[in-house]
A and B are shown apart, each in its own frame.
Chain A
């Protein structure tokens, strides 16, 4: 039987491991259980060899190695998804790319099918342990919330403020709670989820939201190839993100193509996006990719 103060030392070590291990919850539980049994065996053996309980646990922990090193190596074992997962994660971006490539964005039928598919996939994934492929789909699930917010601008005066007062807190609540829940699994998943937002915003600005519908339609027709290409790049980005092992490569895989797409958007805008506006979009991209890391740190500190 291990005494309470030493149990605390062991618990502290395992708690640090729990915090550093960025794994699927079921795998994490299994890994922690296995590591605990090892430490239990080791400290028991050391105690039998004549060490005090305190010394035994301290030595067992010391021999076990640094939390960060074990967490990093374990992460690299599980972080690389299969090609199947990569394809499924890239699928929502591919669907949007096809929507534009085939000029089907006007079809209510296809838009409804896509919306229903996104809702079904997200609900399925959310209730089945939030697998890694879920998060790009989750991003598209949240986009209607943001788009509705943008469209409120076009409501007549009094209605606009009423809608803002009701809608904005509700939309923010949904966005923040989904992002927070995603971050608890891994902040990089939240970055993947938020990835298309600057691109969609960029295209919306490039096509001139203030102009009439026919003008937008004409411009969209002219740039459909580039719009499709930008979502195809996002699909490839997500597939690479799923396949690579190291965290810094994953973050790099998200940032680099995102900036490339923003260059494409700026070129296609034919001056509608000024340099400063483009810079704003770049800053927004960097913020959306890396702010989840900061938020995760805050959440962990609050939890501790």
Chain B
């Protein structure tokens, strides 16, 4: 019984690590993609990720900000404090021209990669 539990836990940990690595490699593209539709602030981004992925992507929320600031330092996004109608301030992120170019490149790479993976994984009729 104990051994079975250990095996299940190990499998779950391996799966989580794999998912984390996948997310880590694609965080920039995901963030750029969301911000490219409309400028957003941190909490708004978290909510959008949660909504669009049906809760699939779950991570510690505070780690979003280093990722956003890294994109800002790289000149891919621009952060700007804006006052909301209720008087509160939020830091909105806008995609830059450089960010749009990088996003386009990342999307092409991702599409090529996923179609290559799919073509191997999916059973073919031939």
Q: Write the residues of chain A forming the contact surface with B, with a CB cutoff of 8 angstroms.
A: 30-31, 33-35, 37-38, 40-42, 63-66, 69-70, 73-74, 76-78
| A74 lies within 8 A of B66 (CB) | yes
Q: Is B90 an interface residue (CB 8 A)?
A: yes
Q: A34-B42, A38-B42 are in contact. Are A65 and B61 (CB under 8 A)?
A: yes
Query: What is the 8 Å Cβ interface bit string for chain B, positions 6-38, against chain A (1 contact, 0 not)?
Result: 000000000000000000000000000000000
Q: Is B123 an interface residue (CB 8 A)?
A: no
Judge whether B62 is part of the interface by a CB distance below 8 angstroms: yes
Which chain B residues lie closer than 8 Å to A41 at the CB level? 43
Q: Within the complex, what minimum Cβ distance (angstroms) separates B101 from chain A? A: 21
Most buried by B among A35, A38, A66: A38
Dominant SS at the B interface? Answer: helix
- A37 in contact with B65 given A63-B60, A77-B70 (CB within 8 Å): no
Is chain A's interface secondary structure helix, strand, loop, or mixed overall?
helix
Partner of A69, one of B42, B63, B73, B89: B63
The answer on a CB contact under 8 Å between B43 and A76 is no
**What's the Cα separation between A157 and B86 when bound, in Å?**
74
* Contacts from B to A (Cβ < 8 Å): 41-43, 46, 60-63, 65-67, 69-70, 73, 88-91
Do B41 and A37 touch across chains, with their CB atoms under 8 A apart? yes
Q: Is the CB of A38 within 8 A of B60?
A: no
Q: List 10 A-B contacts (CB under 8 A).
A: A30-B91, A33-B91, A37-B41, A37-B42, A37-B90, A38-B43, A40-B88, A70-B62, A70-B66, A74-B69
**Contact A73 B43, CB 8 Å, known A37-B91, A65-B61:** no
What chain B residues lie within 8 Å of A34 (beta carbons)?
42, 65, 91
**A contact residues around B46 at 8 Å (CB):** 38
Query: Quick one: which of B61, B88, B89 contacts A64, CB cutoff 8 A?
Result: B61
Contacts of A69 in B (CB 8 A): 60, 62-63
B99, chain A: closest CB distance, angstroms = 16
Question: 16 new A-B pairs (CB below 8 Å) besides A33-B89, A69-B63, A70-B60?
Answer: A30-B91, A34-B42, A34-B91, A35-B65, A37-B90, A37-B91, A42-B43, A42-B61, A63-B61, A64-B61, A69-B60, A70-B63, A70-B66, A73-B66, A77-B66, A77-B69
If A37-B41, A38-B61, A64-B62 touch, whether A78 touches B89 (CB-CB below 8 Å) is no
CB pair B43–A31 under 8 Å, yes or no, is no
Chain A, Cβ-Cβ closest to B89: A37
Which A residues are in CB contact (< 8 Å) with B69? 31, 74, 77-78
Q: Which residues of A contact B91 (CB under 8 A)?
A: 30, 33-34, 37
Expressed in whole angstroms, the Cα–Cα distance for A73 and B61 within the complex equals: 13
B91 CB to closest chain A CB, in angstroms? Answer: 5
Q: List chain B residues, Cβ under 8 A from A70.
A: 60, 62-63, 65-66
Q: Most chain-B CB neighbours within 10 Å: which of A41, A76, A78?
A: A41
| Interchain CA distance A64-B63 in the complex, whole Å | 8
Instruction: Please give, as numbers and ranges, the residues of chain A lying within 8 Å of B65 by CB-CB distance.
Output: 31, 34-35, 38, 70, 74
* Inter-chain contact A35/B90, CB cutoff 8 Å: no
Minimum Cβ distance to chain A for residue B58 (Å): 9
For B42, B60, B62, B70, the residue with the greatest tally of chain A CB atoms inside 10 Å of its CB is B62
User: Distance in Å from the Cβ of A186 to the closest Cβ of chain B?
Assistant: 17
B87 CB, nearest partner CB in chain A, Å: 12
Nearest CB of chain A from residue B107's CB, rounded to whole Å = 24
How close is B105's CB to chain A, nearest CB, in angstroms? 22
What CA separation (Å) do A42 and B65 show in the bound complex? 15
Given A41-B43, A42-B43, A77-B70, CB of A35 within 8 Å of CB of B89: no
Nearest A residue to B66 via CB reads A73
CA distance A76 to B91 in the complex (A): 21
Q: From residue A266, how far is it (CB to closest CB) to chain B in Å?
A: 42
Query: Closest 5 interchain pairs by CB?
Result: A65-B60, A73-B66, A65-B62, A41-B43, A70-B62
